[in-house]
Amino acid sequence: MAVVRRDIHYPADQCIKCTICVEHCPVIKVTDKFLGPKQVGPDFQRFRSENDDPHDVSVDYCTGCRICDVVCPSGVNISELNIRSKIAVREKEGIPIRDTLLSHAYMFGQIASFTAPAANAFLKFRPFRWLSDKMLHLEKSLRYPFYQRESFEKWIRSYTFKSERKVAYFYGCFTNYNDPSVGKAVVKVLEKNGIQAVFPRQECCGLPLLGNGNVREARKLARRNLAGLLSAVDDGYDIIYSSTSCGMMIRDDYITYLDLYEAEPLFDRMKEVSEYLWELHEKNELNTDFIEVPMTMAYHIPCHLRSLGIGFPAINLMNLIPGLTVRELGTYCCGMAGTYGFKSDKYEITRAIGQELARQLAKTDGIYAASDCEACRMQIENMSTKKAVHPIKALLWAYGIEPVGGV
């Protein structure tokens, strides 16, 4: 039996009904299928008990962006209430096949990467997409991310750089199977600073499972990740990550949702890659031997970066690069929200939320747009003609490791 607890994790009674969360929620602005953060969060929470959870279907429309938590002046952990409520509904009613498949995408990564480019051709095959939409409600008009034949894990077998100074790197499944160029850029930028990357044993962080209400399996993955990450911390290494969503899941959610209190030492030792490099700069230890990168770079702040509360270190870093003009778009949620955007019943919502991002991108010069989250980068390419890149690529170019635009 699912339990929606009422305890100090989410002080619903602190809600002063200011409706600031409602003003900022990207979903309620574009659909009336979602009742909104205040209603579904603290208002409903007052009627929840261990044995009697209100059956709230509308909570399924919450993207989990966590903007409501960031803006709430009373510190109500609204998104946590929503996620717990979603888990309760799923535990009672079961998880739909479509959501089970999406949250296990990490399992297909290995085979899809091994069989690329054939797997990519299959993912583009119109009858397959039509069938997936009809049978599983997977949106047919969305571009699926492609798989790379050489995964990041394969590439690191040829990585030979050695240094006394080391940092552990959690690269995540998207970098591993879909965009190894991000991982390569991280490793090469570290190398320019005399730092060797080490790679603890790792699997999917578990966020897609949690987001789809599968706490049990998320916990299994989390335990395996913790074995590798805690051992890296015991060896004296900080841990960097290049996906803000993976970082948030491991740093915050392993404890909050999965009750894995052994993850506590990670809170101070996990750094988002730009945060880590910016800290080097603040200690005068960052190599700033940059060449000019004459271009405008649009920059979209991911919601989960806001949720981490570490500021916007990628902007600081990119501003160090001569010739590079950074245009922060001033946008909030992109609408993609991980697996949410792949669901055909959510597709129109995803597109409607992404309109503001599309407008701002269209107004910005240049062909590149940076964002630290892979889902945001997917949405940038869905909604504009810009080429989406991780901000680490700007440093790769500034160090002259790759020509501008190269990976």
Residue 304 interacting with ligand SF4 (CB under 6 A) = no
CA angle, 295 then 301 then 306, to 5°: 150
Give strand pairing partners of 315: none
Instruction: Give dist(CA 4, CA 1) in Å, integer.
Output: 10
79 binds ligand SF4 per the rule CB under 6 A: yes
Would you count residue 65 as binding ligand SF4 (CB under 6 A)? Answer: yes
Residue 376 found at the interface with ligand SF4 (CB under 6 A): no
Kindly tell me which of 83 and 383 has the beta carbon lying closer to ligand SF4: 83
Q: Does 37 bind ligand SF4 (CB under 6 A)?
A: yes
Any contact of residue 339 with ligand SF4 (CB under 6 A)? Answer: no
Residue 35 CB, shortest distance to ligand SF4, in Å, is 9
Task: Detail the DSSP E strand segments found in 54-139.
Answer: none
Among 76, 102, 209, 392, contact with ligand SF4 (rule: CB under 6 A): 76
15 is an interface residue for ligand SF4 by CB under 6 A: yes
Q: Which of 44, 60, 66, 197 binds ligand SF4 (CB under 6 A)?
A: 66
Q: Does 38 bind ligand SF4 (CB under 6 A)?
A: yes
57 binds ligand SF4 (CB under 6 A): no
Q: Can you list the positions of beta strands (E) in 177-323?
A: 196-198, 239-241, 270-272, 295-299
Least distance CB 367 / ligand SF4 (angstroms)? 30
Q: Please tell me the distance from the alpha carbon of residue 162 to that of residue 405, in angstroms, as a whole number.
A: 27
Q: What is the torsion angle, in degrees rounded to the nearest 10, for the CA atoms of residue 152, residue 153, residue 154 and residue 156?
A: 80
Smallest separation, CB 233 to ligand SF4 (Å): 30
Please tell me whether residue 240 adopts helix, strand or coil conformation: strand
Tokens of 249: 């899941």
DSSP state of 348: H
Provide, rounded to whole angstroms, the least separation between the CB of residue 22 and ligand SF4: 7
- Shorter beta-carbon distance to ligand SF4: residue 82 or 242: 82
Report the alpha-carbon distance of residue 345 to residue 330 in Å, rounded.
Answer: 28
Residue 261: other Cβ atoms inside 10 A: 8
Name the one range near ligand SF4 by CB under 6 A: 15-23, 221-229, 263-271, 369-377. 15-23
Stretch that binds ligand SF4, among 22-30, 126-134, 136-144, 157-165 (CB under 6 A): 22-30
CA 245 to chain centre: 3
Residues present in the chain in total: 407
Binding residues for ligand SF4, total number by CB under 6 A: 27
Taking CB under 6 A as the rule, does residue 307 contact ligand SF4? no
179 or 252: whose CB is closer to ligand SF4? Answer: 252
Close Cβ partners of 194 (under 8 Å, ≥ 6 residues apart): 163, 165, 287
- CA distances in angstroms from 124 to 62, 75, 102, 266, 357, listed in the order given: 29, 44, 17, 40, 25
Which residue's CB is nearer to ligand SF4, number 26 or number 208?
Answer: 26
Q: Could you tell me if 372 and 248 are in contact, meaning their C-beta atoms sit under 8 angstroms apart?
A: no
- x/- map, 156-195, ligand SF4, by CB under 6 A: ----------------------------------------
Q: Is the dihedral of CA 127, 128, 130, 131 positive or negative?
A: positive
Q: Which stretch binds ligand SF4 (CB under 6 A): 61-69, 265-273, 356-364, 381-389?
A: 61-69
Name the CA radius of gyration of the chain, rounded.
21
Of residues 350 and 382, the one with the C-beta less far from ligand SF4: 350
Part in contact with ligand SF4 (CB under 6 A); list of ranges 71-79, 181-189, 200-208, 392-400 = 71-79
Is residue 352 a contact partner of residue 153, using CB atoms and an 8 Å limit? Answer: no
- Footprint of ligand SF4 (CB under 6 A): 15-21, 25-27, 37-38, 41-42, 62-68, 72, 74, 76, 78-79, 82
